[in-house]
Amino acid sequence: MIDISPACRDALEQWLERKRSLEGAAENTCLAYQTDLRDFLAFLTAHRGGPQGPAALGRITTPEMRAWMAHLRSNGASSRSLARKLSAVKSFCRWLAEREGIEPTAVLSARAPRFRRKLPRPLAEGDARALLETVREQPAAAWIGARDGAVLTLLWGCGLRISEALSLRGADAPLPRTLRITGKGGKERIVPVLPAAREAVAAYVRLCPHPLTGEAPLFRGARGGALSRRLVQKAMAEARTRLGLPASATPHALRHSFATHLLAAGGDLRAIQELLGHASLSTTEAYTSVDTARLLEVYNDTHPRAGTAARSSSG
């Protein structure tokens, strides 16, 4: 493990604190940033034969940036991973340029390799319904089945992330018609709560043997502690195995399904962006590709001329 200079380590901690306090970056995001930057600074230390202070980052050359990216490639980094790491390095060096006056041109001009973004993999409406029914029925304790069903209904019916659903408190029940959700980066949004979601949570609250009040977690584990995402993922995995669904049928796929089903029903892309809490419309636009792919599949399977056209082109 190659160490980095104390000055760079201090600068990195200050930058991370800024990300947390001023930009509202989530702790998991900051941990990823920290790992990416430490790895970059360790590479630079090894490449130059000794620890480098913040000022030395202003002397990074284009060949050194290429050498770092080649190093990542040789260690199996994907194009997506490399792009993420380069983004973290650029952000840190841009901050150092403002704070220390270093010259960041070589870093900022480095280009990440292009990669094709993975399309969301939503569930068909029938599969989503079957999953919720199976999750409710499979536990021995009725309240646990109601709990798991309520959490997953919030993901599919309201587009919540699993962390957002699990962050609800006892004081939030009974659920109102709208919820104020704090998502990634501390961004708040207002989410309508469908009657089916309110009813699912109400059914869980009636059956739960633990007191659900105040700031205590709304969703509880068997012993009364906060419900973990791992248990929700486990319940979903058992249900998809019973139903013969693919491994892509995860809790997060229900959030994808929320967006895709809204879009298919004529939902406005900007409105869906707000409901999901996406910072950029380009993230939400991925669902248009999913919907187009689905429409083409339906066309090829059902249109009377589709098969003829396919045969003609193959002949």
Catalytic site residue from 85, 136, 256, 278: 278
What are the residues whose beta carbons fall under 8 Å from the beta carbon of 108, sequence distance 6 or more? 90, 93, 94
Which listed residue (19, 85, 161, 198) is catalytic? 161
Question: Is residue 252 annotated as part of the catalytic site, yes or no?
Answer: yes
Among 147, 198, 256, 287, the one annotated catalytic: 287
Q: Read off φ and ψ for residue 220, nearest 5 degrees.
A: -115, 150
DSSP letter for each residue of the chain: -----HHHHHHHHHHHHHHHHTT---HHHHHHHHHHHHHHHHHHHHHHTS---GGGGGG--HHHHHHHHHHHHHTT--HHHHHHHHHHHHHHHHHHHHHH----HHHHT--PPP-PPPPP-PPPHHHHHHHHHHHHHSSSSHHHHHHHHHHHHHHHHH---HHHHHT-BGGGPSP-SEEEEE-GGG-EEEEE--HHHHHHHHHHHHH-SS---TTSBSSB-TTSSBPPHHHHHHHHHHHHHHHT--TT--HHHHHHHHHHHHHHTT--HHHHHHHHT-SSHHHHTHHHHHHHHHHHHHHHHH-TTHHHHHHHHH-
Dist CA 113 CA 278 (whole Å): 24
Instruction: Tell me whether residue 47 is one of the annotated catalytic residues.
Output: no
Q: Mention every residue, 6+ apart, whose C-beta is less than 8 A from residue 73.
A: 82
Is 71 labeled as catalytic in the residue annotation?
A: no
First to last CA, the chain: 60
242 is catalytic: no
Catalytic residue among 184, 189, 242, 294: 184
Q: How far apart are CA 170 and CA 227, in angstroms?
A: 13
20 is catalytic: no
Which is catalytic among the residues 19, 136, 198, 255? 255
Q: Is 180 a catalytic residue?
A: no
- Would you please indicate which residues are annotated as catalytic (active-site) residues? 161, 184, 252, 255, 278, 287
